[in-house]
Structure 1
Amino acid sequence: MTSPATAAHPTLDELRAEATEWARKPRRFGTWYVTEHMVRAMRAYGWTIIVGAVGQPILYLLGLAVGLAALITVPIVDHGQEVTYLMFVAPALLATATISVASEEMTYPVMAGFKWRRYFYGFNASPLSSPQIANGVIIAASARMVVASAAYYLIVWLLPFGAVPHPETGWLAIFAGVFAGLAFGIPLMAYAASIQDDKGQFALVQRFIFMPMFLFSGTFYPLDTLPVWLQWIGWISPLWHGAELGRLATYHSAIAPGMVAVHVGYLLLLCVAGYIWARRNFVERLAK
């Protein structure tokens, strides 16, 4: 029979078991702890996020709907289907917004975690693993992408420009945009994790990868109107694949089922390959 004193004071083995259980908790939920930290860090530039998520789409849409689209009265022929110019560009601009967020959240914050502020090493010194740190960065960036794409979609849907003729499926463009953002951002995060010194690499990415992708990925006109020697930019661009899926959702673009599978498969391939590369870089970098 256990005495009251023994019941009130646990044994050494019980204390060890309890300590082990508490030590396992950070590792069990480590990804979410990192996600929470990254999201909380975004509060430092929270108003920038809000203004960018809401103000930028309004300016783009007003410029296109009131300005450029008013001059382009001839409908756009997309996969043999005639649509207005605004209907055509709106899903591509939504995907562009998420890719822009990915290029912000998966470059300099990753560099800061490894070099400038080195908080990734602090995370790794606790019971958090390197893959959990990488996962937390991805999920936190995804959260901001969801906010940006949802705000963009709501504005496109609510403003009286007729950019979303099928709202019953149009909301799926939010996920198409986030999918495109991840397909661009995860490989970019892997690259950022491999950089030892900032020598303007991210500026080069913006000028020579993001901008050509934005201009030559069927954002403002169908990709097949470009010369063949420029169309390859769209073929390898996650923006074009995400925009095509967004167009399928918003105005039921007549895309062949096989091409839908190609779009989804290509974006998934970029995400998976980028994640494998990023996970390896995080493990190798934090082991030093």
Structure 2
Amino acid sequence: MSAVEPGGATRTGWVAGDVDHAAVAGTARRWGWWFVAEHRIRAMRSYVVSWALIGVGSPFLFLMGLGLGLGLLVDANRGSQGVDGVPYLTFLAPALAMATAMQTASQENTYGVFGGFKWFPMFFAMHGTPLAPWQIVVGFQVSVLARVVLPLAAFAGVIAIFGIGDPLRALLLVPIGMLLSTAVGFAVMSWVATQTEDRGQLSFIERFVVVPLTLFSGTYFPLETLPIGLQWIGWISPLWHAAELGRVALYGAELAPGMVLVHLLYLVALAAVTCGLSIRTFRRRLDR
């Protein structure tokens, strides 16, 4: 019997007839989600240079521009109080890191998911193998996390370089951002997977969901400064919950008792519910 490489490919020198198809199917059923993630991560190599430049450069430009520009004005106007008891740049940095994670997850799950069904139907090809719909869904999100980790790590590095916060505490922004990416990613995926034609509605996510959430989730100013009629946007926004956790992690922002647990549970619940919706939608569409 021939040895079988991960994914079912035979080693060089072995003929196809020697493949143990039962073993290959069993491997796919156990590790199929990783095969999907690996496939997408390998495909990212075609634009890895631009991906890396954007992932590393954006945090530096954001924090330099807003921190040394807007931040100086805010701190000068508020004196030693700053915002939330810290300099404006310290208040802003965790939220910017979370906003970048949300935007990246949204982008990857918009055209990436739609294209996987419509333009280059790799999901249907995957479904023709022993891979289950849940493995395709989970594997796709794992590959998105690979995209999100770089800018989050870059934010942590820039925060350390600028002396905005403790480097070790800044590293906590990475797992918080990954949790946000998972929640947002599954939420976007669960809707995009229902779309069969592109009539311009895919761009609505960026323009009418991501941008408003970035503006009204306490990113650039405390949520409490908004009129009460607009604060509800932040309450339901995953970005606000993640930004609050990021501020606690970076500089120990004070929250009401139990709010850290509320923020965590909200993000986990959103990820779990929308993951289930995504799997159900994928199953229905792939079985047509």
Q: TM-score over 0.5 for the alignment?
A: yes
Mapping 1:120-199, distance limit 5 Å: 120-159=123-162, 162-164=163-165, 166-199=166-199
The answer to whether the 8 Å contact 2:157/2:167 transfers is no
The aligned counterpart of 1:61 is 63
CA change 1:130–1:222 in 2 (3 A) is same
Moved more, 28-37 or 68-77: 68-77
1:117 aligns with 2:123: no
| Match of residue 36 from structure 1 | 38
Cα distance between partner residues in 1 of 2:216 and 2:263: 17
Aligned partner of 1:278 in structure 2 is 278
Count how many residue pairs are aligned between Structure 1 and Structure 2: 268
Higher mean C-alpha deviation, range 34-43 or range 173-182: 173-182
Q: Which residue does 1:227 correspond to in 2?
A: 227
**Is the 2:74–2:82 Cα contact (8 Å) retained in structure 1?**
no
1:102 to 90, 101, 105: 105
1:202 is displaced (CA, Å) by: 2.0
Q: Secondary structure at the match of 1:139?
A: helix
The 4+ residue runs of structure 1 with deviation greater than 6 A are none
Q: For residue 48 of structure 2, what is the amino acid of its counterpart?
A: G
What's 1:23 paired with? 25
Task: Report deviation, 1:167.
Answer: 3.1
Structure 1 residues 255 and 152, CA, compared in 2 at 3 Å: closer, same or farther? same
CA distance in 2, matches of 1:41, 1:204: 26
Distance of 1:123 and 1:174 partners within structure 2 = 30
Partners of 1:99 and 1:182 within 8 A in 2: no
Aligned partner of residue 117 in structure 1, secondary structure? coil
Matched position secondary structure for 1:107:
helix
For the 8 Å contact 2:159–2:170, the answer to whether it is kept is no
Moved more, 234-243 or 144-153: 144-153
Q: Which moved more, 1:25-34 or 1:43-52?
A: 43-52
How big is the shift at 1:16? 10
Q: 1:286 to 1:41 in 2, by over 3 A?
A: same
| Alignment match, 1:48 | 50
Whether the aligned pair in 2 keeps the contact of 1:219 and 1:243 (CA below 8 Å) is yes
1:87 to 72, 82, 90: 90
Q: CA RMSD in A?
A: 1.7
d(CA) in 2 for partners of 1:19, 1:136: 22
Tell whether the 8 Å contact from 2:36 to 2:135 is kept in structure 1 after alignment.
yes
Q: Distance in 1 between matches of 2:93 and 2:199?
A: 35
Tell me, in whole angstroms, the C-alpha distance in 2 between the residues paired with 1:281 and 1:44.
29
Unpaired runs of at least 5, structure 2: 1-16
- Secondary structure of 1:199's match? coil
Separation of aligned partners in 1, 2:21 and 2:181: 41
The structure that has the greater radius of gyration is: 1
Unaligned runs of 5+ in 1: 1-14
Task: Indicate the structure whose relative CO is greater, using CA pairs within 8 Å and at least 6 residues apart.
Answer: 1
Letter in 2 for 1:279: I
CA distance in 1, matches of 2:177, 2:27: 34
TM-score, length basis structure 1: 0.89
Shift of 1:168: 3.4
- Alignment-derived partner of residue 13 in structure 2: none
Query: 1:16/1:37 Cα in 2 relative to 1: closer, same or farther (>3 Å)?
Result: closer
